[in-house]
Amino acid sequence: MHPAEHRDLQPRGGDPDPRAGDRPAAAGGAARPRGRPPPAATGRLATGRGTRFRGRVSVDASVIVVSWNARELTLRCLDSLLAQNHEVGFEVVVVDNGSTDGSVEALRLRRDARLIELGHNTGFACAVNAGIRATSTPVVVLLNNDATADPDFVRTITAPLLADADAERGGPRLGATTGRVQLSGAFEPAAPTDPAALVSAAGKRWVRVDAGAGVTLLNSTGNEVTVSGNGRDRDWLAPSDGPGAPADVFGFNGGCAALRRLALDDVGLLDETLFVYYEDSELSWRLRRGGWSVRHVDEARTVHDHAASSGERSTVFLDNNERNRLSVALMHAPWPVVGRGTARAAGRALLGPDRRRRLLVLRDVAARLPGSLRRRRAVDRAARVPRQVVARYLVPDGGTR
């Protein structure tokens, strides 16, 4: 990682922290976007190469969509943004992570989005950071490319941030908002032996069925972390017709959120060493330690094809999920949380299936340990809020739904 790019990842006052064993991530900052948008653009939807609507409004938000080999899903996502009820001026920036399925060629033809081509798969965090660096709006919106946004999504997810002037005056500071994500399709209870089942935190098993034949379920109402350091979606697999979730939540979901640029300038961007998964949990820790709050906005809604781009049972998912869970705990969590998480991971590696793969993950975590501890010390030096205060948001490992 080049020094100039590395500074973006540091909390205020933090020292650069070389990380042993990190995979290269410089490509996220090496992208050459096609120029920043002007402070105002003709039309309610500002675009990189054209406009679609009359009228002159300011561009208050940049919607960043990361693309990687999911052409039709990405185009569907962009169509849902084009159909927004435009009460907020916003631009759309697609960051492509080296797609080889024709996504880039199709995206080059779109006039409702600006395209940044990274050339190869740099990881989710690197791609998002490239989009953030290429924009200058006060609010950045993150939307998964395998999701569709309700017509009022951009307005509702950004409204609390655009209306909250306290952050500028040094008062109580809202750093991020996180929306309500519903899983696509319908579900019914699954058999205990069904390998395709999705499992809730409480152990309930669900399987997708033909539309209309089952119930609809939630994917997320924000991010939470357990007492063993496990980052997860709040309300994962809860019925979607239940009561609205509380507004106060530990962190944001990285595929359905809005971030205040002032907060990012304060605590840093996504951690590119994580490559994929747990980037939102890690940044949520830094926001909370920096005195920034996170709020769930139930009216900001998307529908998500869960793990459509990466595959939940793929080696990419399993390795990065397990590695980053421990690395983020080492960076931020109280030591008892680190101990429980490490003991749990070691037990699974020694006694569970897939022993060799799990042991290699633990070896990688150990190789990253010096960098993780340097990050921990840097965050501690810059923090406004003690770790134990933020740790009050930790939840039990099990669940109730």
pLDDT digits (tens, 9 = 90+) for 16-51: 332 333 333 333 333 333 333 333 332 344 444 433
**Average of pLDDT values for 56-67?**
89
Q: Which residue has the higher pLDDT, 189 or 57?
A: 189
Instruction: Give the pLDDT score at 2.
Output: 35
Coil vs helix vs strand at 158: helix
Q: Is the pLDDT of residue 108 over 50?
A: yes
Coil vs helix vs strand at 220: strand
* Structural domain includes residue 194: no
Instruction: Give the pLDDT score at 211.
Output: 63
Q: Is the pLDDT of residue 169 over 50?
A: yes
Paired sense of beta strands 256-260 and 292-304, if any: unpaired
Angle (nearest 5°) at CA 286 between 275 and 135: 65
Res. 1 pLDDT band, cuts 50 70 90:
very low
Here the tokens at position 386 are: 């003690």
Paired sense of beta strands 139-143 and 61-67, if any: parallel
* Structural domain includes residue 197: no
pLDDT digits (tens, 9 = 90+) for 232-251: 999 999 999 988 899 999 99
Burial 91-118 (b: 16+ CB within 10 A, else e): bbbbbbbbbeeebbebbeebebbbbbbb
* Structural domain includes residue 190: no
Instruction: Give the pLDDT score at 133.
Output: 98
Please name the residues in contact with 92: beta carbons below 8 A apart, sequence gap of 6 or more: 45, 47, 62, 63, 65, 78, 81, 112, 113, 114
* Structural domain includes residue 188: no
Please name the residues in contact with 274: beta carbons below 8 A apart, sequence gap of 6 or more: 123, 125, 282, 320, 324, 327, 328
Please name the residues in contact with 223: beta carbons below 8 A apart, sequence gap of 6 or more: 178, 231, 232, 233, 234, 249, 250, 251, 252, 253, 254, 280, 281, 284
Q: Is the pLDDT of residue 163 over 80?
A: yes
Find out whether 234 and 198 touch, Cβ atoms under 8 Å.
no
* Structural domain includes residue 202: no
Residue 197: CA atoms inside 13 Å, Cβ hemisphere, count? Answer: 14
Please provide the average confidence, as pLDDT, over all residues in the chain.
Answer: 85
Structural domain harbouring 282: 3-182+214-393
Res. 401 pLDDT band, cuts 50 70 90:
low
Q: Which residue has the higher pLDDT, 334 or 398?
A: 334
Find out whether 152 and 159 touch, Cβ atoms under 8 Å.
no
Here the tokens at position 32 are: 């050459």
* Structural domain includes residue 195: no
The CATH number for 33's domain is 3.90.550.10
Tell me how many domains the chain contains: 1
* Structural domain includes residue 203: no
Q: In what helix (H) or strand (E) does residue 295 lie, and over which residues does it extend?
A: strand 292-304
Q: Is the pLDDT of residue 288 over 70?
A: yes
Residue (of 311, 306, 140, 155) closest to 236 by Cα position: 306
Q: Is the pLDDT of residue 4 over 50?
A: no
Tell me how far apart the alpha carbons of residues 364 and 324 are, in angstroms, rounded to a whole number: 10
Instruction: Give the pLDDT score at 306.
Output: 77
Total-model pTM:
0.85
* DSSP assignments along 160-171, one per residue: HHHH--HHHHTS
Burial class (CB in 10 A: 0-12, 13-18, 19+), 125: buried
